Amino acid sequence: MTVAQPTEPVPLHTDEDGEIRVGGTRVTLETVVSAFDSGATPEDICEDFPGLELADIYAVLTYTLRHRSEVDGYITERRQQAEAIRQEIQASPANQRLRQRLLARRQG
């Protein structure tokens, strides 16, 4: 018996902001990988994100395990970009004043 070697594409796409998303959803690669790394099974992830297809989750996790250093590099880069943006926003004088007013409201 001969079995055809399927070559299905990994269900990942990059949005206009450079964020990699799973399937046709807004769920990010980082979200799926982080859940898996925290001990969630593909079935758990599917339950937590009903828009995802179980087969897509397995395909993404297979890709991740086979290309771990690239995926980790991408996630690290995205986290560094997010941290830089957060620091830029917090450094803005207008945002600092707003933050102080919001904290004052919370306290009193």
As a whole number of Å, the end-to-end CA separation of the chain is: 75
CA–CA dist 38, 3 (Å, integer): 35
User: What is the pLDDT, as a whole number, of residue 99?
Assistant: 83
Q: What is the pLDDT of residues 57-102, one digit of tens each?
A: 999 999 999 999 999 999 999 999 999 999 998 888 888 888 888 8
Task: Return the number of other C-beta atoms located less than 10 Å from residue 8's C-beta.
Answer: 7
Domains and CATH numbers, the chain: 12-107 (1.10.10.10)
Q: Whole-model pTM?
A: 0.81
Task: Return the number of other C-beta atoms located less than 10 Å from residue 11's C-beta.
Answer: 19
